[in-house]
């Protein structure tokens, strides 16, 4: 079992934080902004921080096997939570999640299993060297303010999979059979759907591209525009969200205002 909290601590056991809605374009060396207990993507590191001469971006090692995560199942998630996650995965694969509620109308809980998981990552020591010589780009004034406030993070690893196995159970805990014809509307020609062997309660959804569903990141510490240190984001402490949240309060002491959120 991975977790009790389906979002914030699902991958904590393995040292990763969770992506609320898995996405294909998540990668190492992306900037994240702190917004409450969530993090939001801002863009790539190289567009904001100009490297020093002769210091390139850290090399991303891609497609490394992650056997400790492959084949591990989540705990039994409430069907409403499970279908929300499944809808996001199917949409990211290019399918249509419309009608899933009806297909799983008799389900009480759902479990997930990511197969053939791989990891893209960078060496943190290489990132540290890059940051030590990099300078904030002149057009990135708001990002510079976020750096000085220690509100920015950089992704250092992403775990991905293009195959998700979903098993539904009824309110008594028994396996719930799901027929493939009931899911034909989901494929949209881009998602392959099969049974997991002879088990009609376990449905395998396979997309064309791997989706990032977990990540590691480091928090950046800056002083007067100069990089000073980093700190690893504790696994499960924050989730990566797709949509930005509205700021909790609005403060202004002059002609320009800064939007901030309260820390959780």
Number of compact structural domains in the chain: 1
Classify residue 6: in a domain, yes or no.
no
The answer to whether residue 159 sits within a structural domain is yes
- Give me the pLDDT at residue 136, please: 82
Q: Cα–Cα distance between 17 and 8 in angstroms, integer?
A: 7
Question: What is the structure's pLDDT at 254?
Answer: 31
Predicted confidence at residue 1, as pLDDT, reads: 39
In degrees rounded to 5, what are phi and psi of residue 81? -70, -45
7 lies in a domain? Answer: no
Q: Is residue 110 part of a domain?
A: yes
Q: Which residues contact 139 (CB under 8 A, 6 or more apart)?
A: none
The pLDDT of residue 139 is 65
What does the pLDDT read at residue 5?
A: 54
Residue 200 lies in a domain: yes
CB atoms closer than 10 angstroms to residue 173? 9
**Is 3 domain-assigned?**
no
Torsion of CA 78, 191, 44, 27, to 10 degrees: 70
Spans in the chain with pLDDT lower than 70: 1-10, 138-140, 242-264
Q: Residue 49: give the domain boundaries.
A: 12-260
Neighbours of 225 (CB within 10 A): 11
Within-domain flag for 70: yes
């Amino acid at each position: 079992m991975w977790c009790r909290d389906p979002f914030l601590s699902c991958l904590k056991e393995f040292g990763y934080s969770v992506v609320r809605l898995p996405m294909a374009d998540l990668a190492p060396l992306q900037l994240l902004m702190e917004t409450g207990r969530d993090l939001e993507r801002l863009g790539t590191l190289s567009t904001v921080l100009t490297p020093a001469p002769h210091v390139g971006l850290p090399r991303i090692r891609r497609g490394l096997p992650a056997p400790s995560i492959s084949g591990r199942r989540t705990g039994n998630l409430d069907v409403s939570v499970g279908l929300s996650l499944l809808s996001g995965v199917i949409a990211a694969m290019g399918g249509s999640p419309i009608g899933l509620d009806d297909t799983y109308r008799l389900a009480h809980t759902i479990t997930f299993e990511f197969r053939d998981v791989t990891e893209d990552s960078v060496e943190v020591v290489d990132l540290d060297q890059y940051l030590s010589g990099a300078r904030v780009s002149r057009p990135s004034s708001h990002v510079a303010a976020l750096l000085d406030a220690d509100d920015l993070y950089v992704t250092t690893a992403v775990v991905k999979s293009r195959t998700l196995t979903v098993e539904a159970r009824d309110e008594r805990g028994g396996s719930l059979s799901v027929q493939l014809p009931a899911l034909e509307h989901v494929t949209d020609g881009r998602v392959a759907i099969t049974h997991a062997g002879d088990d009609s309660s376990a449905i395998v959804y396979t997309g064309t591209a791997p989706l990032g569903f977990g990540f590691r990141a480091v928090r950046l510490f800056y002083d007067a525009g100069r990089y000073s240190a980093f700190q690893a984001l504790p696994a499960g402490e924050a989730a990566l969200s797709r949509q930005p949240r509205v700021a909790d309060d609005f403060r202004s002491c002059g002609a320009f205002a800064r939007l901030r959120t309260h820390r959780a």
